[in-house]
Amino acid sequence: MHPEKNNSSAFEPKIIAFVCTWCTYAGADLAGTSRMQYPSNVRVLKFPCTGRIDPVFILKAFQQGADGVLVSGCHPGDCHYIAGNFHARRRFAAFRKLLEFVGVDLQRLQFSWVSAAEGGKWVDVVTDLTETVRALGPMTEFKELALEEQWSGALTTPELKEAYLQI
């Protein structure tokens, strides 16, 4: 929320990863126990299944300050609940199109299939997304909305700017 931070060269992207517990979480765990290195920018949130990952969670993540979001689960055919990831695949295919239409840069939203055996792929996916988002810079769109929510609009007047700087 501090504008001066956005310009500093030390921008560290916040990546939120929504993963299913059976495949990708286990894959990330494998990466960890195998002592593979991957960016600590990623915050992992565990779900029973990609089918449980509601698009509204992705919105919420962006609103709360995520610069990038990863959604990852079992490969098609490997779902613990048989078809959860097939349903998720359709839902996210549609949701991507909607976000694109309202003007969200889709490079910030990555989907992947990472199995429990693919610790290496997890590292690749997370690293790629982190670096892409780092190059893109902070995701400001949703944060600005939240800021306006508190400030009744942009900081356009000198009075508002002064008041803002005093907190």
Partner 1 sequence: MNNTIDISHYAAIADSIRAEAARILEQGVVTAVVAYTTGRRAGSVQPVIITAAAEAERLTFTAASVNNLAVYLTKAKKDIPRSGRIGIVVKGCDLKALVGLMGESQLQRDQLYLIGIPCAGVLASTVRPAEALIAATLAPKCRECDAHLPEGCDYVPAVSLPSAPTLEPSYAAEIARLEALTPAERWAYWKEQFAKCIKCYACRQVCPFCFCEQCLCDRNKPQMVDTTPRPAGNTAWHIVRAMHLAGRCAGCAECERVCPMDIPLNLLNRKMAKELKELFDYEAGFAVHEKGPLNSFMEKDDQSFIK
Cα-Cα-Cα-Cα dihedral of 20, 25, 26, 32, to 10°?
A: 170
Minimum separation from the CB atom of position 150 to partner 1 (A): 9
Task: Please identify, using beta-carbon distances, which residue of 35 and 45 lies nearer to partner 1.
Answer: 45
What is the total residue count of the chain? Answer: 167
Minimum separation from the CB atom of position 93 to partner 1 (A): 6
Q: What is the DSSP string of 1-51?
A: --HHHHHSS-----EEEEEETTTHHHHHHHHHHTT----TTEEEEEES-GG
Task: Please identify, using beta-carbon distances, which residue of 26 and 88 lies nearer to partner 1.
Answer: 88
Minimum separation from the CB atom of position 102 to partner 1 (A): 5
Q: Which residues bind partner 1 (CB under 8 A)?
A: 54-57, 59-60, 63, 76-77, 83, 86-87, 89-105, 110-113, 125, 128, 141-142, 145-146, 148-149
